[in-house]
Amino acid sequence: MTDSLISSAYSQALEVIASVEPRIAEATRQELADQRGSLKLIASENYASPAVLMTMGTWFSDKYAEGTVGHRFYAGCQNVDTVEALAAEHARELFGAQYAYVQPHSGIDANLVAFWSILANRVESPYLQKMQAKNVNELTEADWETLRHELGNQRLLGMSLDAGGHLTHGFRPNISGKMFHQQQYGTDPETQLLDYDAVAAKAREFKPLVMVAGYSAYPRRVNFAKMREIADEVGATLMVDMAHFAGLVAGKVFTGDEDPVPHAHIVTTTTHKSLRGPRGGMVLAQEEFAADVDRGCPMVLGGPLSHVMAAKAVAFAEARQPSFQAYAQKVADNAKSLAEGFLTRGATLVTGGTDNHIVLLDVSSFGLTGRQAESALLDAGVVTNRNSVPADPNGAWYTSGVRLGTPALTTRGFGHDEFDTVAELIVDVLINTTPGTTKAGDPSKASYVVGDGVADRVTKQSAEMLDKHPLYPGLVLS
Ligand code: DSN
């Protein structure tokens, strides 16, 4: 697509929007300016291509299509069928999956779909069988009561949030931590790395129905073959949430034991992180789970977002190009450059480094909380998010870490030298930031003071790199 086509399409679209609600058009312009002008280091964010973005802005948004391809609860779904079938086909090919379900609206939704399909397949109950066979009228109120007890309080073992796991892997405030009897595995207290023997010991003792692997803040690769061995030994079903690293799987950076798809019974993901697609979710499953995964809508999902499924198809088609493999490799290489940049400047990294797309900086050595560091960096145009570190003394709100990721700036074309400079700029901000006090003069975990001129200096140095690697080059809004 030529630059002038993209420029005129977006300029005209913004004019149409402005004719109804100019403030939304203005906020949309401003968002582009802000994203262009800052160092986006949030590990879960990226920049989707104009083709992906444009696909989301169509009349597919107006169609209801509950059900599955060829089996809808609404008339007139022939074009949605085309879109959903194509997205699923691309997903199966891209990941070598037996089955792909592209309807989930987000990662949490995808995980709920996976939980349901595991319960439906793995809990043994004559009532469940009747329900699955749609003989629900044969179930009495007493049968339903028994079934609720049988489905409830099943056991789930997932990675703890402060070790890098995700909320939906059994963390108490999330529904997964309430609907399941849950236990969590952490990382080795010394190395901060996954200790597979400790995971196995916990699994043997706890005997979970569901074992969840995957992470949102663990800066290392996981051996999914080992996780499957553990799951098999204790009779658990292995679910892998690859939301963060789906792009590294699609781009063949994670292969063999590090590719979850051949090892897990069921894999969930979002599509907008390292995979660089539209905001949404997806489930990849072994064939035995397919029928229950397909019940995702209306079991736990509302009507599919057909415009987003269309954009998933476009994004997956992009990810099947050789250029995406080169991109994914650069994401991992750049994370190493970023980590090296920190280590050579004396900073502390959780696990001592990275071998995926995440760098988790422990900011306690700068005398700061994650909250203070995140805010000070934002003042200098560096967009990150605070994150717990293992056994974090500051808890999940203030935290002691800042999580950084390379997918977005790699899309812009940043390479080794730029990521080394990014580390230099971040260290510059953090060594020049001091904790503030509360109004009463007590030490604060939130307020902070950035040294004079530091934010301006860093913003200027960032701008040089950002100008060299423009976001959506050629997109000029009139
Ligand atoms: N919010 C996502 C992240 O930032 O990792 C995970 O849900």
Whole-angstrom distance, CA of residue 76 vs CA of residue 33: 40
Q: Is the pLDDT of residue 34 over 70?
A: yes
The token duo for 61 is: 């948004």
Instruction: Give ranges for CATH 3.90.1150.10 in the chain.
Output: 322-468
pLDDT score at 345: 98
pLDDT over threshold 90, residue 11: yes
Give the helix/strand (H/E) hosting 185: strand 181-185
Look at residue 418 and give its three-state secondary structure. Answer: helix
362 C-alpha vs ligand 1 centroid, how far in Å?
19
From the CA of 403, how far away is ligand 1's center (Å)? 11
Rounded to 10°, the helix 416-431/370-379 angle is 110
C-alpha pair distances (Å), 176 with each of 132, 173, 179: 22, 8, 5
DSSP state of 175: T
167 is in an annotated binding site: yes
Residue type, 230: I
The arrangement of secondary structure in 59-319, i.e. its CATH architecture, is 3-Layer(aba) Sandwich (3.40)
Q: Using CB atoms within 10 Å of the CB of residue 241, give its burial: 0 to 12 exposed, 13 to 18 middle, 19+ buried.
A: buried
Over residues 52-79, the pLDDT tens digits come to 999 999 999 999 999 999 999 999 999 9
Q: pLDDT confidence of 133, banded at 50, 70, 90?
A: confident
| 287 three-class SS | helix
322-468 architecture in CATH? Alpha-Beta Complex (3.90)
- The number of CA neighbours under 13 Å toward the Cβ of 233 is 15
Q: Which atom of ligand 1 is nearest to the CA of 217?
A: 5
Is residue 241 scored above 80 in pLDDT? yes
477 in a known ligand binding site? no
Q: Which residues contact 141 (CB under 8 A, 6 or more apart)?
A: none
272 is annotated as contributing to ligand binding: no
Pocket perturbation via mutation, ligand 1, pick of 244, 274, 399, 404 by most ligand atoms within 8 A of CB: 244
> If you take atom 6 of ligand 1, which residue's CA is the nearest one?
216
**Mean of the pLDDT values across residues 30-35?**
98
Q: Helix (H, G, I), strand (E, B), or coil: what is residue 270?
A: strand
Residue in 13, 6, 45, 53 with CA at minimum distance from that of residue 29: 13
Q: pTM higher than 0.75 for the full model? A: yes
How far, in Å, from the CA of 222 to the mean position of ligand 1?
A: 18
* HEC profile of 9-57: HHHHHHHHHHHHCHHHHHHHHHHHHHHHCCEECCCCCCCCCHHHHHHHC
Q: Given a cut of 70, is residue 228 above it in pLDDT?
A: yes
Q: Is 44 in the pocket of ligand 1 (CB under 6 A)?
A: yes
Q: Which two tokens stand for residue 145?
A: 């009561």
If you search the block for the tokens 């169609």, which residue do you land on?
Answer: 63
* Pocket lining: 111 vs ligand 1, CB cutoff 6 Å: no
CA of 216 to the centre of ligand 1 (A): 6
Which pLDDT tens digit goes with each residue over 370-429? 999 999 999 999 999 999 999 999 999 999 999 999 999 999 999 999 999 999 999 999
Question: Is 107 a pocket residue for ligand 1 (Cβ < 6 Å)?
Answer: yes
Angle at 383 between CA 422 and CA 420, to 5 degrees: 10
In degrees and rounded to multiples of 5, residue 207 shows phi and psi of 50, 65
Q: Which residues of 120-155 are buried (b: 16+ CB within 10 A; e: fewer)?
A: bbbeebebbebbeeeeeeebeeebeeebeebbeebb
Overall average pLDDT of the 307-330 stretch = 98
Question: Is 370 annotated for ligand binding?
Answer: no
Q: Is 411 in the pocket of ligand 1 (CB under 6 A)?
A: no
Nearest to 296 by CA among 109, 27, 24: 109
Mean pLDDT over residues 104-110, rounded?
A: 97
The residue contributing the CA closest to ligand 1 atom 2 is 44
Distance, CA 278 to ligand 1 centroid (Å)?
15
Tokens of 318: 């992009």
164-191 tens-digit pLDDT: 999 999 999 999 999 999 999 999 999 9
Ligand 1 pocket: which of 109, 273, 384 to mutate (most atoms <8 Å of CB)?
273
pLDDT tens profile 462-478: 999 999 999 999 999 99
Q: How confident is the model at residue 135 (pLDDT cuts 50, 70, 90)?
A: confident
pLDDT number for residue 137: 86
| 304-319 burial code (b ≥16 CB/10 A, e <16) | bbbbbbbbbbbbbbbb
Domain with CATH 3.40.640.10 in the chain: 59-319
Instruction: Specify the ligand 1 atom closest to the Cα of 167.
Output: 7
166 labelled binding-site residue: yes
Q: What is the pLDDT of residue 258?
A: 98
Distance separating alpha carbons of residues 429 and 36, to the nearest angstrom: 20
How many Cβ atoms from other residues are within 10 Å of residue 339's Cβ? 26
Residue 20 pLDDT greater than 80, yes or no: yes
pLDDT at 3 over 90: no
pLDDT of 348 > 80? The answer is yes
What integer is the mean pLDDT of 210-228? 98
Pull the structure tokens for residue 177.
Answer: 């931590």
Q: Helix (H, G, I), strand (E, B), or coil: what is residue 453?
A: coil
What was the pLDDT predicted at 1?
Answer: 61
Question: How far is the C-alpha of 145 from the C-alpha of 362, rounded, in Å?
Answer: 49
Q: Give the pLDDT score at 130.
A: 86
Nearest CA to ligand 1 atom 1: 44
